[in-house]
Amino acid sequence: MTRYQVRHRTSYAYDAPVTGSYGLAWVMPRRTPGQEVTEAAVTVVPEPEDLGVSSDYYGNEVRYFHVTVPHTELVVDADSVVEVEAAEPPRAMLDRSWETCRPLGSAEPGAWLAADFALESPLVEHPDSAREYAAVSLSPGRSIGEAVAELVHRVHADFAYRPGVTSVTSTVDEVFAARAGVCQDFTHLLLSCLRSHGLAARYVSGYLATTPPPGRERLVGADASHAWAAVWLGDDDWLAVDPTNDTRVDDRYVTVAWGRDYGDVPPVKGTVFTTASSSELTVYVDVQAV
Amino acid sequence: MSGLRDYAAARRELPLALDPTASGYDEVVAEDGAPRDAWRRLLAGYEPDLVDLPRVNAEIERMLSDDGVVYAPPGQRQRRWRLDPVPLVIEAAEWADLEKGLAQRAELLNVIVSDLYTDRTILSRGLLPPEVVFAHRGFVRSLARPGQEDLAPVTLAAADLSRDETGEWLVTADRVQAPSGIGFAMENRRVLSRVLPRLHREAAVHRLTPFFQTLRSAILQAAPDGVESPHAVVLSPGPMSETVYDQASIAASMGFPLVEAADLTVSSGCLWLRSLDGLQRVDVVVRRVDAAWSDPLELRGDSRLGVPGLSEAVRRGNVRIVNSLGAGVAENPGLMPFLPSLCEELLGEPLRLSSARTYWGGAPGGRDVLIDRIDELRMTSLDGRGVPSSAEDLRHRIETEPWRWVGQESRRASSMPALEGDRLTPHTVRWRTFTMRHGASYRPMAGGLVTARSTVGEQQVSKDVWIVKQDPADPDQGLSELMSVTALRTPPTLPPRARGDMYWMGRYIVRIEDTLRLWLLCHTLALDFHHRPGSPGGAALAVLRTTLRGLVSIPDTASETDDLRAALSDADRPGSVSQSVEQLTLLAQSLRDQVSPDLFRVTGALARALGSSRERTSDTYRGEDAETMLTGALALNGVSENMVRDAAWRLHELGRSIERASQLTHLLEPTLGRRRGPEVDREVLDAVLQVSESAVTHRRRYRGYVRVANVVDLLVLDAGNPRSLRFCVERMQQHLTALPASSGSTRPERLVDDLLALLSDADLAYLVVIEGEYRPRLRELLLTVQSQLRSLSEAVENVHLASGPWQRPIELPLVIEP
């Protein structure tokens, strides 16, 4: 078991006053079988007139806030202490052939819920490029564990990590064309590969604890939000994999929320009333083992 | 009815089966060529030929125009709504079956929607494949949260029906997102019952009004529990939407304010209307904006038609939406194949009203059916994305993801006669029915709206639906006891959007009148002096034409005839009479809940005269149209006479004063600012007095002796002449002071104070001083006033009309790993 103290600060600076700001934030780690949240606090500055906590469609904790004090800077701070245990899916589930893990038309328990993650979603289309790319790894009868591991490995090898070539609205086709992107692009790409063959896979947002290079001190605040994917194996078993780092998800990963794609669980989204023409976004994340 | 016999004869000779869209069943004429029973009874004891259909039709057109009934096909200019004189008549026995089927269907859809947003047992029990729901764009996940329960998400359902060759009515589409058409149906009935009074009375058909009244109660009863006197609003996407008439007429007749998103705000988790008296709590929203566009925070972030925070207010139970934001999931064509089994499971009874045969690609064998019949089925995708244009692409997409596709057998519809030109021709019939929640069950409207399409021509026209009572003594709509109707609140609260509309309505009304006066004067002078450009009258004509051109932004190169035609009839020219009338008509549409219906009579008359002026080839007759329009424009003044003296009226009057002042400066500067010799000047001064409707006053006061100083005095400085600048500015001051947002020192008030000071300080003798050809002091004063008025109008918009800055989405943080 590893314990982390997580600090996640999102701030917006505007070039003119904002008279009203409505926001939603998915910034609080969720409880899962392998993850316990022992401390949790979200603060918004300026103080919101209204702050609501609820559970979204996928069971993630979402904060709704409405700030009415005119402001030129808005800060959403999330602090938590999380205990994570590396949870491996049962061996037997990983050995199933991948074709049997498809939820559409299946009467297995949990299949009807998983079906939601086997369909196209707003940011994850199913272009032929993805379907063909994935077919190489999804050969008939192959075990799901092996097929997914190879696919993750190939995505890591074939696509360059390069910030700035994509945006939050980039499509799978664009990522294919660029052969590059950042973690959410690789995650969307992997989701498209798996879903276009009928598998159910969800987008997971969270954090990855970083280890400093040997001999260097860990830099506070150098961490960032992260994203990865989880594939349905049957029942309520999911295999979480990180295409950006070509690895299975273990106790270095803190899970915040999941959905069909980034659009279901962005850390913060909002609507503001302002004459400001531009805003500057700063994100600070620190994940410290304690 | 004249022509029915001919229709029947022609119908026999020209079998409709030849037309691929017609089923061969005719609603009026039976297979043997004789009228069907309903029509035989309807026409019994009646001399059919006495009803002169073309005359009735002309009367219908006139009434619809007077009521300003329009619709705008997507991406096109508004058109006049069209109603055919021959109604669809349904007999009591047939209706009895349909009524049960429609009520059951609405109840079933309601249960389905309710379940899909709470426990989703329909999916977990395997009654419906989950992908049918999950892939459909109407499924709004942000409202399907644990703990959310809504037992009545569907208050008003609509279903489109077509009759097949066997005579059976089938549902081709369910409309539960934000059904439109009730306003049109009500208007169709109002008009048809007046133009065919005897036929309507003797037919003993169900009146529609009780349905409408009950629907109003049903909407108010949808309010959250515990609200004693609920407030409802009608949320519209705006005046450019396709069914703006429908929305506005429902709002007007139910007494609910017609609002747009910017008129509403969410605060403390509740929904509020920004009224002139502050925030007013809203309990029920009759939603005419599609769910996806209703909340930019949680749904489409790029929407300006929605209210951020609306979903949160709904989830907290502080406001109810009619129909619920998630109801669109029941518009899913993929549900249709499952309705019979769902009905058995959920309601424990067989489905009474069938859907048109529909296949879902994800069903066993479904993909093969879609592929085999790809050319013949009407394909739709669950996610609402379009069907690829190439058959190849479509086939590929169906093969790879069959569960995304639904194919419906294209229904051949029954036919019936409708007037096309001066004779009755066969038209196919699509009938939109409406069913409302009534207590704990559902009740269909005995009536509806038919869209009829000609099978021989291009025509598309609407029809009324007459449901004949079993016994003439039966209660209308079967509603023997009307549910309590809460007293109408009048006038409805004025939302910020309507404040701006009121102000601009005032401006356009004056702009139409003043432009018409100038136009008519130019027109008269042109008739007299067209061939004598060298005469004083000819010179005056040239001066006034320049003035008119300036107002209507016409280039100097245009010919005289073109000038006049464009200034009157060119709708694309800013400042033209035609454009002002069009703008006024648009404003009137969205103010339908706020103003007297007389307004539409006048705008209708203006539009007709304009239409006629466009068709004129002779300039002489165009003048008659302009005279007709001026009469109409003067009648518009009566509309404001009858307004309640509230803040809305003040804004309207403020708009009028500002426009009149602005028109005056535009008239006086080019005419009086320059000297052209005594003879020409006299003609110009006469013309100016006529255009500014002050000739009589002038004659009385100055005994007909026309001098520049007198005219300037009368039209600029005289506080007693309602047509003077000074008078207008004083009126502005009065109205501004009385507005709720005024403090004595707001920018509009300061600007008006300045204007007034400018006019009080002006010295008449000084103003008319001549330098060379010009009167520079007068010109300077008029141009200063002109630009001050522009600033004033902007300031009024900012202080009194605006509802704050626009909303926009904030940048989303990109996820970047270490």
Domain map of chain B by residue range?
A: 88-356+411-478, 494-643, 644-802
Distance from CA of A126 to the nearest CA of B (A): 10
Beta strands A50-55 and A35-45 are: unpaired
At B488, is the pLDDT very low, low, confident or very high (cuts 50, 70, 90)? Answer: very low
Choose the weakest-confidence range: B279-288, B394-403, B737-746, B774-783. Answer: B737-746
Interchain contact B818–A (C-beta under 8 A)? yes
Sheet with B405-409: list strands edge to edge.
Answer: B358-360, B405-409, B377-381
Contacting residues of B for A119, CB less than 8 Å apart: 131, 134-135, 403
- Put simply, the answer to whether B308 touches A49 (Cβ < 8 Å) is no
Same domain, A210 and A184: yes
Closest to A244 in 3D by CA, of A256, A232, A226: A226
pTM metric for this prediction = 0.86
Nearest by CB: B813 against A208, A210, A225: A225
The reported pLDDT for the residue numbered B439 is: 85
Nearest by CB: A54 against B145, B383, B818: B145
Closest chain B residue by Cα to residue A48: B268
**B787/B203 Cα distance (integer angstroms):** 63
> CA A76, A79, A82: angle at the middle one, nearest 5?
140
Asked if residue B603 has pLDDT above 80, the reply is yes
Most confident of A116-125, B407-416, B478-487, B794-803: A116-125
> How do the pLDDT tens digits run along chain A, 290 residues long?
899 999 999 999 999 999 999 999 999 999 998 899 999 999 999 999 999 999 999 999 999 999 999 999 999 999 999 999 988 899 999 999 999 999 999 989 899 999 999 999 999 999 999 999 999 999 999 999 999 999 999 999 999 998 888 887 889 999 999 999 999 999 999 999 999 999 999 999 999 988 776 776 666 656 788 999 999 999 999 999 999 999 999 999 999 999 999 999 999 999 999 888 888 899 999 999 88
**B689/B671 Cα distance (integer angstroms):** 11
- Put simply, the answer to whether A112 touches B123 (Cβ < 8 Å) is yes
Contacting residues of A for B123, CB less than 8 Å apart: 112
The reported pLDDT for the residue numbered A140 is: 96
The reported pLDDT for the residue numbered B817 is: 44
Asked if residue B814 has pLDDT above 60, the reply is no
**B231/B268 Cα distance (integer angstroms):** 18
Same domain, A271 and A256: no
The reported pLDDT for the residue numbered A220 is: 62
Asked if residue B582 has pLDDT above 70, the reply is yes
**Do the beta carbons of residue B85 and residue B54 sit within 8 Å?**
no
Beta bridge partner(s), residue A73: A13
The reported pLDDT for the residue numbered A255 is: 96
Q: How many CA atoms lie within 13 A of A208 on its CB side?
A: 22
**A151/A243 Cα distance (integer angstroms):** 9
Predicted-complex ipTM score: 0.94
Interchain contact B385–A (C-beta under 8 A)? no
**Tens digit of each residue's pLDDT (9 = 90 or more) over B141-172:** 999 887 778 889 999 999 999 999 889 999 99
Nearest by CB: B816 against A66, A126, A183: A183
A111: helix, strand or coil: helix
Cis peptide before B809 (omega within 30 of 0): no
- Put simply, the answer to whether B808 touches A10 (Cβ < 8 Å) is no
Higher pLDDT, B688 or B534: B688
Residue type, B747: R
Q: Which of A8, A112, A117 to mutate to test the interface with B (most CBs of B within 10 A)?
A: A112
User: What percent of chain B clears pLDDT 70, i.e. is strictly above it?
Assistant: 93
Same domain, A96 and A205: yes
pLDDT, mean of residues B243-255:
90
Question: What string of DSSP letters covers B182-215?
Answer: HHHHHHHHHHHHHHSHHHHHHHTBPPSHHHHHHH
Contacting residues of A for B810, CB less than 8 Å apart: 12, 21, 23, 268-272, 279
Distance from CA of A212 to the nearest CA of B (A): 11
Closest to A143 in 3D by CA, of A173, A98, A105: A98
Same domain, A13 and A44: yes
Q: Which of residues 211-240 of A touch B (CB under 8 A)?
A: 222-227
Closest to B670 in 3D by CA, of B537, B544, B767, B533: B544
- Put simply, the answer to whether A269 touches B806 (Cβ < 8 Å) is no
pLDDT, mean of residues B755-774:
93
- Put simply, the answer to whether B362 touches A104 (Cβ < 8 Å) is yes
Closest to B188 in 3D by CA, of B86, B268, B281, B289: B86
The reported pLDDT for the residue numbered B558 is: 66
Same domain, A23 and A144: no
Which CATH number fits the domain that encloses residue A159? 3.10.620.30
Higher pLDDT, B793 or B805: B793
**Tens digit of each residue's pLDDT (9 = 90 or more) over B317-370:** 999 999 999 999 999 999 999 999 999 999 999 999 999 999 999 999 999 999
Asked if residue B808 has pLDDT above 80, the reply is no
User: What percent of chain B clears pLDDT 90, i.e. is strictly above it?
Assistant: 59
pLDDT, mean of residues B111-128:
94
Token couple for B42: 């309807």
The reported pLDDT for the residue numbered A55 is: 93
Q: What torsion, rounded to 10 degrees, do the Cα atoms B507, B512, B513, B516 define?
A: 150
What residue numbers bound the domain in which A211 lies?
A: 91-263
**Tens digit of each residue's pLDDT (9 = 90 or more) over A8-24:** 999 999 999 999 999 99
Nearest by CB: B815 against A105, A183, A274: A183
**B595/B583 Cα distance (integer angstroms):** 16
Same domain, A34 and A167: no
The reported pLDDT for the residue numbered B50 is: 57
- Put simply, the answer to whether A182 touches B815 (Cβ < 8 Å) is yes
The pLDDT mean for chain B works out to 88
**B727/B756 Cα distance (integer angstroms):** 10
Question: What string of DSSP letters covers B665-708?
Answer: HHHHHHHHSB---HHHHHHHHHHHHHHTT-HHHHHHHHTT---H
Closest to B794 in 3D by CA, of B622, B653, B658: B658
The reported pLDDT for the residue numbered B13 is: 62
Phi and psi torsions of B301, nearest 5°: -70, -20
At B818, is the pLDDT very low, low, confident or very high (cuts 50, 70, 90)? Answer: very low
Distance from CA of A182 to the nearest CA of B (A): 6
Interchain contact B811–A (C-beta under 8 A)? yes
Q: Which of residues 191-210 of A touch B (CB under 8 A)?
A: 196, 205, 208, 210
pLDDT, mean of residues B379-389:
88
Interchain contact B269–A (C-beta under 8 A)? yes
The reported pLDDT for the residue numbered B489 is: 44
Beta bridge partner(s), residue B270: B267
How many distinct structural domains can be found in chain A?
Answer: 2
**Tens digit of each residue's pLDDT (9 = 90 or more) over B529-578:** 888 888 999 999 999 998 998 888 777 766 767 788 889 988 888 889 99
Closest to A273 in 3D by CA, of A16, A2, A7: A16
Distance from CA of A196 to the nearest CA of B (A): 8
